[in-house]
Structure 1
Amino acid sequence: MYSHLFSEITIQGLTLKNRLTMAPLYLGYAGEGGTVSRMMLEHYRLMAQSGVAMIVVENATVEHPTGSGSNRTLRADTDDNLDGLRQLAEAIKQEGALACLQINHAGRFAHATGDPVAPSAVKTFGRFPKALEKTEIGRITDQYVKAAARAKTAGFDMVELHGGTGYLLAQFLSPRTNQRTDEYGGSLENRQRFALKVVARVKAAVGSVPVGYRFLADEWMPDGLHLEESKPFAKRLARAGIAYISVMGGTYESFSLPDIVQRSKQEGYMLDLAAAIRSVVDVPVIAAGRLATGTVADRAIAEEKTDLIGLARVLWADPQWPKKVRDGRDADILDCSPDCGDACMQMVMKGRPAFCVAWTAEKMKAWKAKFV
């Protein structure tokens, strides 16, 4: 059953035992100040025990606090956190999964005490970020390189650059948020310059460690980034030697739009974006977005709309998902309900570690005993 879903695939010399990955998912499980907490270790150990081939640890900042989304954002900007990162990579790999660390700069979405930084001073939720000087762009590029090198030193098998959700790499690419008039703004050729520099520098720093890319295919904003520009950018990433492209849609400014809220309740609501990107590149593509059943996930691969499946909240809600699907027990899966009002996101937006409101009382009690 589901022969496509449970077949191997090799990415730049690393063999994934199936087509299932854990997509990056921020739950607020890091300690205050971005440390690797016991809660985070136990969470990722449990996720790795699920049977997925690769775990992508979410959103490790390359610069704190100006690049951090919150005070519970994992830090990869300091050697002080290196031992914790080593423990995290080891916990994942001990359970038979490949470990990948996603590194990020939040840009205008950072929760810094001062002004956040961005390509341009475009108003963001009531405040204006500071437009980056060229020298600052170079410094932040260096920060990506150092964070990637720490991921390698810590023992992660792969590194993922976070170019999704409207964060800094995507902010440079978007015509909506990049209004610069220098060589980093204007044409698509210029707007993609920063991301391609980061890719080249990071790849040079980590050598044989594969570097993937979390990819914003469409901002779902009228004046934002759309497929007509993201598709040629994907081709440039492939030519630059990126290991895989993990496709998503939307940003914090579009997620709450009524039509996007309704769209996000539909099964496989981002699959069309993954298929569009896969049609123009020759590197593996990861699709995400409520691919909640084995039937839908396997068909997506069989129909060549994607190469891999990224499970985020689906896997968190039920870490037994891969085993239940493989055993034909789809009816036993604890579903991540689209009707909960994104309760988990509301929790993390308030600075609280998240739990799933779909969990049974017994599972909730076990979660508190283990993680709290």
Structure 2
Amino acid sequence: MYPHLFSPITIQGLPLKNRLTMAPLYLGYAGQGGTVSDMLVAHYRLMAQSGVAMVVVENATVDHPTGSGSDRTLRADTDDNLDGLKQLAAAIKQEGALACLQINHAGRFAHATPAPVAPSAVKTFGRFPRALEKTEIAHIIGQYAKAAARAKSAGFDMVELHGGTGYLLAQFLSPRTNQRSDEYGGSLENRQRFALDVLTRVRKAVGEFPVGYRFLADEWMPDGLQLTESRQFAKRLSQTGIAYISVMGGTYESFSLPDIVEKSKQEGYMLDLATAVRTVVDVPIIAAGRFATGNFAERAIAEGKTDLIGLARVLWADPRWPQKVRDGKEAAITHCNPDCGDACMHMVMKGRPAFCVAWPTDKMKEWKVKFV
């Protein structure tokens, strides 16, 4: 079943056995201080066992604490975490999936520090971040490069730059959050400079090692980044050797808007963004956003709307989703419930490890015994 969905593809010389990837999803499973916990390793081992071709480990900070979203954000900014990262990469690869580490600076959304930094001092949920000095920008660019080299040293197959969800790379790109008047602000050419500088330094640090990009195509805010500009940026990424572009929409400030909440309940609600980006680049595109059924995912690839599918909460709710789809047992899938009120997100916002309210009772009991 589904010949397109389960066909192979190659990304910069690395073979993927099918078109399914695990999209990065923060669940608060790292230890306090961002260490690689047993819980985190067990979670990603299970995700790799699902049958997806690539697992993208979420949101590892390049600069703690000012770049960390929370105290449970995984750290890639220190060699003290290197052994843990090696264990994590090995666990994923032992189960037959490629391992990719997403690296990030949270910028104005950093909650592990009382003094967040950003391109400009734009109010964020009641706090004003401090605008970055040029020397600090140079330091952060270097931190991205060091974190990427650390990911390679740990045995990951790829690294992904987190330019989605309204984090620092996206904050520089957005006309809403970047109000600078220097070479990093103003025109699109200037606003994309930070991300391109990061990519250049990262590629120099890792050499022949694939670097992907989590890509914010539309902030879904009236004065925010929109497709007209983001597609131009995608072209530049494609021209500078990016391995793939993983497309998403929205930020923490737009996810809770009533129309976006309703939109996010629809299957493949971000697919149109991925398709719009795919038409202007010549690198593989990953589409995400509630791909609940094999038929929908198959058609998205067959019709040329995307090259790969990113499963996040869909895969977390049921790690056997790929197997059940491949074997024609979709009726047995445990689905992420769009009407649950984003219970998992509320858990992590409170600093608690998340569980899925759609899980069967026996799995819920097992989770609580192991992790609570």
TM-score range normalised by the length of the shorter chain: over 0.9
- C-alpha distance in 1, partners of 2:186/2:335? 44
Deviations 1:24-44 (A, max 9, x none): 000000000000000000000
Is 1:77 matched up with 2:77? yes
- C-alpha distance in 2, partners of 1:125/1:23? 26
Contact 2:71 2:112 in 1 (8 A): no
Is 1:346 matched up with 2:346? yes
**TM-score, normalising length from structure 1?**
0.99
User: For residue 292 of structure 2, what is the aligned residue in structure 1?
Assistant: 292
- C-alpha distance in 2, partners of 1:363/1:127? 39
- C-alpha distance in 2, partners of 1:78/1:5? 38
User: For residue 180 of structure 2, what is the aligned residue in structure 1?
Assistant: 180
Deviations 1:283-336 (A, max 9, x none): 000000001100000100001110000000000000000000000111110000
- C-alpha distance in 1, partners of 2:42/2:301? 31
- C-alpha distance in 1, partners of 2:56/2:313? 13
User: For residue 233 of structure 1, what is the aligned residue in structure 2?
Assistant: 233
- C-alpha distance in 2, partners of 1:366/1:47? 17
CA offset at residue 138 of structure 1? 0.1
Secondary structure, in 3 states, of the residue corresponding to 1:58?
Answer: strand
- Stretches (4+) displaced over 2 A: 366-372
Contact 1:38 1:371 in 2 (8 A): no
- C-alpha distance in 2, partners of 1:297/1:289? 11
Is 1:360 matched up with 2:341? no
- C-alpha distance in 1, partners of 2:156/2:32? 23
The 5 A counterparts of 1:59-78 are 59-78=59-78
Contact 1:166 1:251 in 2 (8 A): yes
* 240-249 or 111-120, which deviates more: 111-120
Q: Counterpart of 1:231 in structure 2: which amino acid?
A: R
CA offset at residue 208 of structure 1? 1.3
C-alpha RMSD of matched pairs (Å): 0.7
Contact 1:42 1:371 in 2 (8 A): no
User: For residue 254 of structure 1, what is the aligned residue in structure 2?
Assistant: 254
- C-alpha distance in 1, partners of 2:51/2:368? 23
Deviations 1:191-249 (A, max 9, x none): 00000000011011111110000000000000000000000000000001000000000
Contact 1:118 1:131 in 2 (8 A): yes
User: For residue 268 of structure 1, what is the aligned residue in structure 2?
Assistant: 268
User: For residue 211 of structure 1, what is the aligned residue in structure 2?
Assistant: 211
User: For residue 326 of structure 1, what is the aligned residue in structure 2?
Assistant: 326
Contact 1:122 1:129 in 2 (8 A): yes
User: For residue 107 of structure 2, what is the aligned residue in structure 1?
Assistant: 107
Aligned residues: 372
User: For residue 154 of structure 1, what is the aligned residue in structure 2?
Assistant: 154
- C-alpha distance in 2, partners of 1:200/1:173? 16
Contact 1:22 1:56 in 2 (8 A): yes
Secondary structure, in 3 states, of the residue corresponding to 1:323?
Answer: helix
Identity over aligned pairs, percent: 83
**TM-score, normalising length from structure 2?**
0.99
Secondary structure, in 3 states, of the residue corresponding to 1:60?
Answer: strand
Secondary structure, in 3 states, of the residue corresponding to 1:338?
Answer: coil
Contact 1:50 1:322 in 2 (8 A): yes
Contact 1:118 1:130 in 2 (8 A): yes
CA offset at residue 370 of structure 1? 4.0
- C-alpha distance in 1, partners of 2:317/2:75? 25
CA offset at residue 113 of structure 1? 3.2
User: For residue 282 of structure 2, what is the aligned residue in structure 1?
Assistant: 282
Unpaired runs of 5+ in structure 2? none
- C-alpha distance in 2, partners of 1:18/1:304? 16
- C-alpha distance in 2, partners of 1:20/1:368? 29
Contact 1:25 1:58 in 2 (8 A): yes
Deviations 1:261-289 (A, max 9, x none): 00000111000000000010000000000
User: Do the aligned partners of residues 53 and 371 (structure 1) sit closer, same or farther apart at CA in structure 2, a change above 3 Å counting?
Assistant: farther
Unpaired runs of 5+ in structure 1? none
